[in-house]
Amino acid sequence: MPGSANASTAFSPTFAAVATFEEAAPRYDSSGAQLAGPIADRLVSLAGLRPGDQVLDAGCGAGAVTIRSARVVSPGGQVIGVDLAEGMLRRTAAEAAGRGLANVTVRRGNVSRPPFAPGSFDAVLASLVLYLLPDPGATLRRWREILRPGGTVAFSWGIRPDPRWSPVFGAVDSYAKGADGFEAYAGRLGSPEEMTAMLDAHGYTGIRTSTHTVPVRYTGPRQWWQASWAEAPGLAWQHIPDADRDAARRAAFALLERMREPDGSLVRRVEMAYAVAHRPPEGSTGEGRAAAIPGPHKAAGR
């Protein structure tokens, strides 16, 4: 049920999502338009990582969060990037090697059931991932188990698409046969308040949420089209029959031509939310009250 933080067992996108990201892995986050990077910057900063921390980057993709975290937890800390798409793991491993980061490892696994012992991590981070998983609540419970007492979960999700772009996505979505449109996926986790309630219900404490608008700038319609197919909109658009793809592209481009900025670029403002919360420290009842506090906050209580 899109839009509800409590929902979800009916929605089971894991295999379709992973197949899409596997296919897109060589091109993911490499169009030149900046989306994953600015979100990862903010998420890693909010997570309050420290040198020496052991970190899981759940659904690491091409490594946006893995790489940034690996720098922050040095010296002494380690980051493990987990993804089901082998191509994404290769991207993350190559990005780490290219930057000389020896404290990164990658491992194939399903982050809905991460293959780690209880208490393994100081922090579990996940950027742009939780909304793809079949049962976000159960996943948050599993992530809580693999955190050490007092450990931190931090993740991002999209809360509001740019309304100026809805007709563009709608035009392309209308060619995707039998699939939910992209914006239904994007709105699936609900508001920060709903997420706060979900984290509270699953035993987290010290919950903080914040929002931030990311202006994603494209050189023009063509760059947006290429980026979209290698990112989440591809989940819906893979259902467009080959014979209709040109028509879908032309429909979008006709709308986008009227949306260009004075310099010819296109700007999509994506409203993101971030949550940071903690496994209760040892000896606590784990029933601390959650508080939704607007604006970015550094994690507290570690």
Ligand X SMILES: C[S@@+](CC[C@H](N)C(=O)[O-])C[C@H]1O[C@@H](n2cnc3c(N)ncnc32)[C@H](O)[C@@H]1O
Residue 50's contacts (CB-CB under 8 Å, 6 or more residues apart) are 72, 73, 77, 122, 302
Question: Tokens 């091409």 belong to which residue?
Answer: 62
Among 48, 53, 54, 59, binds ligand X (CB under 6 A): 59
Residue 83 in contact with ligand X, rule: CB under 6 A: yes
Site string for ligand X, 109-148 (x = CB under 6 A): -xxx--------------xxx--xx---------------
Contact 155, 129 (CB under 8 A): yes
| DSSP for 163-215, written as a single string | GGGHHHHHHHHTTSTTS--HHHHHTTT--HHHHHHHHHHTT-EEEEEEEEEEE
Residue 36 in contact with ligand X, rule: CB under 6 A: yes
Pick 40 or 207: Cβ nearer ligand X: 40
Residue 85 in contact with ligand X, rule: CB under 6 A: yes
Please, what is the minimum distance in Å from the beta carbon of residue 132 to ligand X?
A: 4
Residue ranges with strand state E in the chain: 54-58, 78-83, 104-108, 121-127, 147-160, 205-218, 266-278
The two three-digit tokens of residue 101, written as one number: 């980061």
Residue 79 in contact with ligand X, rule: CB under 6 A: no
Binders of ligand X among residues 225 to 284 (CB under 6 A) are 232
Among 5, 8, 11, 17, binds ligand X (CB under 6 A): 17
Please report, as ranges, the residues that interact with ligand X according to CB under 6 A.
14, 17-18, 21, 29, 36, 40, 59-62, 64-65, 83-85, 88, 110-112, 127-129, 132-133, 232
